[in-house]
């Protein structure tokens, strides 16, 4: 098992390299880089200043072109900007330098924030991890028991009713469900049970340890429920179908013929085999919640996490933050995939990855 883990860890480096290379190449063809945005911002400010001067009786000053804003930016200023952001080097050189620094988690400094990207990611990561972790755990805690109950009651009224509820839940977009939760339970139009925004209260630092824990879960409840809605539906049906496939196999019929109780058959034999496919879906569930839904949920509930940071940085063309968050997202996704394989072995020791060719 140790050799397999080492092989998987070794594959992380070329995989991350490929992810970063593809995105770096795409960025080279995107218009409106950070320098263009700064130039546009300076020109807008110059235009506004020219208008104020003209409107204040200074029409001769604006027309005389002594005011720098009326003449455009000097080439020296643009050259200094390119040198400051590193765009004076060829793209290949910039990419090699970026990868070399990223291997030591040196993400550089944000173009538009006076903070290093590493510190910025560390600052935002607890919010996204909290949202992704609790949403995934809640989805599994509900989906597995419900899926087993549906499999053992296949075709019953319980199965039909819960399937209808699951389909409705799956059809509701996460952002729409989040807004509905705010309207119903955050003082929108009905009950003010949960806070409207944020992850903690303003007086969180003054609370006791128990008070901090309660306040944290009080704030995270609605975002977690909104993030779980899609994953919950998918995992429930996956669990049900997996158990149904195992229940129909010959070894289950043999176990029942030996006189084993239904509970012993279900949890002593079927559970281990049926849970393999459910565990295989763990990385997809976690990554979809952590990456896909984090932006929408963080925006609606005003949570300052990695998803919102990556989106705002992409709009600003803050490339160090964009590539830094992309590197973190890719690394976490690959490590979660390895964790899924290790969980396979924990559930069923008969699985041996040592003999598997990677």
Outline where 29-116 has alpha helix (H). 34-55, 59-63, 75-85, 91-102
Question: In sequence order, what are the residues at sequence separation of 6 or more whose Cβ sits closer than 8 angstroms to the Cβ of residue 210?
Answer: none
User: Distance (Å, rounded) from C-alpha 218 to C-alpha 238?
Assistant: 30
Phi, psi for 350 (deg, rounded to 5) = -70, -20
Residue 186 CB: number of other CB atoms within 10 A?
A: 20
R_g (Cα) of the chain, nearest Å? 27
Q: What does the pLDDT read at residue 53?
A: 52
Mean pLDDT of 169-177: 82
DSSP label at residue 287? H
Domain edges within the chain: 2-86, 117-347
Provide the CB-side half-sphere exposure for 114 (13 A, CA): 0
User: Distance (Å, rounded) from C-alpha 47 to C-alpha 70?
Assistant: 7
> 0.85 cut: is pTM over it?
no
Q: How confident is the model at residue 68 (pLDDT cuts 50, 70, 90)?
A: very low
Q: What does the pLDDT read at residue 301?
A: 84
pLDDT top residue among 160 and 299:
160
Q: What does the pLDDT read at residue 43?
A: 64
The answer on pLDDT for 206 being more than 60 is yes
Q: What does the pLDDT read at residue 148?
A: 87
pLDDT top residue among 230 and 151:
151
C-alpha of 169 from chain center: 21
Mean pLDDT of 145-170: 88
Q: How confident is the model at residue 288 (pLDDT cuts 50, 70, 90)?
A: low
pLDDT top residue among 47 and 53:
47
The answer on pLDDT for 106 being more than 60 is yes
The answer on pLDDT for 286 being more than 80 is no
Average pLDDT of the chain, as a whole number:
77
User: Distance (Å, rounded) from C-alpha 332 to C-alpha 63?
Assistant: 57
Q: Given this structure, which CATH class describes domain 117-347?
A: mainly alpha
Q: What does the pLDDT read at residue 273?
A: 78
C-alpha of 355 from chain center: 33
Mean pLDDT of 203-215: 84
Q: How confident is the model at residue 65 (pLDDT cuts 50, 70, 90)?
A: very low
Q: What does the pLDDT read at residue 3?
A: 76
Q: How confident is the model at residue 161 (pLDDT cuts 50, 70, 90)?
A: very high
Q: What does the pLDDT read at residue 290?
A: 65
* Cα angle, residue 125 at apex, residues 119 and 130 outer, rounded to 5°: 155
Mean pLDDT of 21-50: 71
Q: What does the pLDDT read at residue 41?
A: 66
Q: What does the pLDDT read at residue 67?
A: 40
Name the strand (E) or helix (H) holding 128.
helix 117-152
The answer on pLDDT for 320 being more than 50 is yes
């Amino acid at each position: 098992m140790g050799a397999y883990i080492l092989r998987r860890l070794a594959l992380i480096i070329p995989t991350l390299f490929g992810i970063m290379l593809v995105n770096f190449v795409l960025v080279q063809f995107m218009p409106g880089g950070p320098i263009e945005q700064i130039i546009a911002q300076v020109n807008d400010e110059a235009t506004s200043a020219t208008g104020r001067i003209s409107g204040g009786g200074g029409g001769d000053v604006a027309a005389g072109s002594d005011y720098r804003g009326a003449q455009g930016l000097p080439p020296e200023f643009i050259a200094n900007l390119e040198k400051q952001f590193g765009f004076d080097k060829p793209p290949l050189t910039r990419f090699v330098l970026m990868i070399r620094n990223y291997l030591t988690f040196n993400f550089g400094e944000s173009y538009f924030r006076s903070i290093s990207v590493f510190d910025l990611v560390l600052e935002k990561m607890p919010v996204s991890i909290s949202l992704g972790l609790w949403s995934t755990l809640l989805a599994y805690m509900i989906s597995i028991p419900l899926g087993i109950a549906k499999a053992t009651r296949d075709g019953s009224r319980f199965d039909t009713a819960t399937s209808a509820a699951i389909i409705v839940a799956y059809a509701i977009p996460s952002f729409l469900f989040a807004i509905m939760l705010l309207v119903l339970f955050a003082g929108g139009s009905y009950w003010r049970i949960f806070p409207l925004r944020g992850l903690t209260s303003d007086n969180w630092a003054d609370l006791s340890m128990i008070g901090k824990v309660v306040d944290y879960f009080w704030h995270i409840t609605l975002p977690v429920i909104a993030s779980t809605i899609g994953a919950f539906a998918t995992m429930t049906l996956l669990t049900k179908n997996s158990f149904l496939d195992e229940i129909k196999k010959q070894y289950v019929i043999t176990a029942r013929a030996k006189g084993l109780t239904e509970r012993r058959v279900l949890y002593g034999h079927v559970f281990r085999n049926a849970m393999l496919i459910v565990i295989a879906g763990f990385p997809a569930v976690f990554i979809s919640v952590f990456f896909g839904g984090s932006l929408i949920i963080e925006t609606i509930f005003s949570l300052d996490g990695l998803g919102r940071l990556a989106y705002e940085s992409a709009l600003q063309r803050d490339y160090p933050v964009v590539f830094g968050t992309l590197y973190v997202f890719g690394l976490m996704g690959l490590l979660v995939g390895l964790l899924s394989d290790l969980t396979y072995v924990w559930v069923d020791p008969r699985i041996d990855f040592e003999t598997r060719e990677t």
